[in-house]
Amino acid sequence: MRERARAKINLFLHLGERRSDGYHELESLVAFAGIGDELSFAPSDALSLAMDGPFAPSLQNESGNLVLKAAQALAANAGISPNAKIALTKNLPVASGIGGGSADAAAALRGLCRLWKLSPLRDALDEIALSLGSDVPVCLQSKSAWMTGRGEHVAPISLPRISMVLVNPGVAVSTAGVFAKLQSRSGTGHPKPDDIASATDLAAYLKTTANDLEAPACEIAPVIEEALTALLNTGALLARLSGSGATCFGLYERDADAERAANTIAKTRKGWWARSTFIP
Ligand code: C5P
C-alpha cells in the first residue's frame, strides 16, 4: 500500500495578525508538485518506521516523528493500537518550506486509514491533521487550494498544468525562526485568481502578491537570494520562496524550459538541489 507525499508550494503567502495562540492568520495559494516523498504501509504487530532515500540521513527525527505522531493520533482517535510497518523514502530536502514533514504526516493519515480500514469523519481527520501542523490539512487534500485561517480552511481551486523548477540552496531554515523575524505583513483578503489558463497568467496574478516570509528568510539565509536570482537568470516567469524556505520555485512556460533551467542550476551550483517538475 503506497502513498505519495507531494511537495507543497506556497505560490503566495500573506500573513495577518499574530493571534493569541501565537499563530498568524494567513492566506495562501497552495499548489502541489509532481514530485514528493514516497510512503508504504504494511500490517505488523508493532509500529515501526524505516527511512531511505537521498534526504533520509539529514532527517533528524523531525519528519519521521511526525509520521509516527500521525499514526498514534489516528489510532488513538479510532481506539485501536497503532500497529503498522511504515517505510518512508525521503526524496525532498528537509526543513525546506515545501511541506516535507507535513506532506509525510498527511500521507501517513491517508495510508493508515486504508491499511486499518478506517473512515473517520472529514472533520475528525482534519482536526487530527491540524494537531500535527498548520500545513497538514492542505497536504491531506494534496490539491491546489486557497488556504486561510491558521491553515485549517482549505478550499479547492483549479489551476492548469504548469511547468516549474524547485531549487534548494542547501540550507535548512527553522520556520519558527523565520516567523520570529517577520516585519511587514500583507494582510488577508487578497482577491482570488480567476481565469488562469497558463503559466504566464499565473505569474501575472502572483506578481500582485508576495511571500511575506521571503524577506526574513533571506535575512537568515542570504543564499536564498542567490537561488531566486539563479531561477530568474534561467528565464523563470516568476521566482519566489515557498513557505519559510529555503526552497524556491520558478514558473516556466514549457517543460523543456524548466528541464533546461534545472539542469543548468544543478550543474553550476554544487550542493544545491534543483528539480524540474510541474503543478499537475
Ligand atoms: O503549525 P506548525 O507547527 O507548522 O508551525 C510552525 C511555526 O510556524 C509555529 O510555531 C509558528 O511560529 C509559525 N506559524 C505561525 N502561523 C501559522 C503557521 C505557523 O505563526 N499560521
CA 236 to chain CA mean position, Å: 20
64: pLDDT strictly greater than 90: no
Over the stretch 76-120, which tens digit does the pLDDT of each residue have?
Answer: 999 999 999 999 999 999 889 998 899 999 999 999 999 999 998
150: helix, strand or coil:
coil
Residue nearest to atom 15 of ligand 1 (CA): 23
Tell me if 91 sits within 8 A of 35, measured CB to CB: yes
Residue nearest to atom 3 of ligand 1 (CA): 133
Residue from 95, 55, 51, 86 nearest 68 by CA:
86
* Closest approach atom of ligand 1 to CA 102: 4
Over the stretch 211-270, which tens digit does the pLDDT of each residue have?
Answer: 999 999 999 999 999 999 999 999 999 999 999 999 999 999 999 999 999 999 999 999
Measured in angstroms, how far is the CA atom of residue 173 from the centroid of ligand 1?
Answer: 13
Measured in angstroms, how far is the CA atom of residue 133 from the centroid of ligand 1?
Answer: 8
CA 10 to chain CA mean position, Å: 7
Pocket flag, ligand 1, residue 150 (CB < 6 Å)? yes
Domains of the chain: 2-156 (3.30.230.10), 162-279 (3.30.70.890)
Residue nearest to atom 2 of ligand 1 (CA): 133
Q: Which helix (H) or strand (E) holds 115?
A: helix 100-115
pTM for this prediction:
0.96
**Which of 28, 96, 132, 175 maximizes ligand 1 atoms within 8 Å of its Cβ, making it the mutation to test the pocket?**
175
In this structure, of 60-74, 165-179, 218-232, 260-274, the range with the lowest mean pLDDT score is 60-74
